[in-house]
Amino acid sequence: MMKWVIAAGLILAAPFAASAQDAEAGKAVFKKCAACHQVGPAAKNALGPALTCVAGKTAGTHEGYAGYSDALKKSGIVWDDEKLLAWMEADDKVVPGNKMIFPAGVKDATDRANLLAYIKSQCAG
């Protein structure tokens, strides 16, 4: 994406990162998650639970997925944007003892915001 910048009286074109909530960019970030998760109207549980419409749900309760840790089931977390973004960055800090194996996390804040936008865009209804 190009944005125009005025510097020292000159108008310059400068490349900038995608907006903080770019679902299309989030689709590319989701590739890191796709080894274990699916999202979208036809998503199924896989190694991890399907993530379609996860916002607003209580952690550890996705229907038909039996692989949750006791720690996640007992956490009482309701997935809002803040919790989902924190989970994407460092799941083990949000719920110590959970079973998700993703130690690298998504460290870039823009990537996390884009990933969240993508996942939310896949909620049918």
Q: What is the pLDDT of residues 85-115, one digit of tens each?
A: 999 999 999 999 999 988 889 999 999 999 9
Domain count, the chain: 1
Residue 58 belongs to a domain: yes
Average pLDDT, the chain: 87
**Which pLDDT value is given to residue 15?**
43
**Better pLDDT: 7 or 67:** 67
| pLDDT for residue 9 | 52
Contact by Cβ (8 Å): 106, 95: no
Residue 124: per-residue pLDDT: 66
For 8-52, the pLDDT digits (tens) are 554 544 444 444 479 999 999 999 999 999 999 999 999 999 999
Per the domain annotation, does 5 fall within a domain?
A: no
Note down the domain range covering 80: 21-121
AA letter at 86? A
Residue 3, domain member (yes or no): no
Residue 73: pLDDT band by 50, 70, 90 thresholds?
very high
Q: What is the DSSP letter of 40?
A: S
What pLDDT was estimated at residue 1? 43
- Residue 79 is part of a domain; what is its CATH number? 1.10.760.10
> In terms of Cα–Cα distance, which of 46, 43, 77 is closest to 60?
77
125 pLDDT higher than 90: no
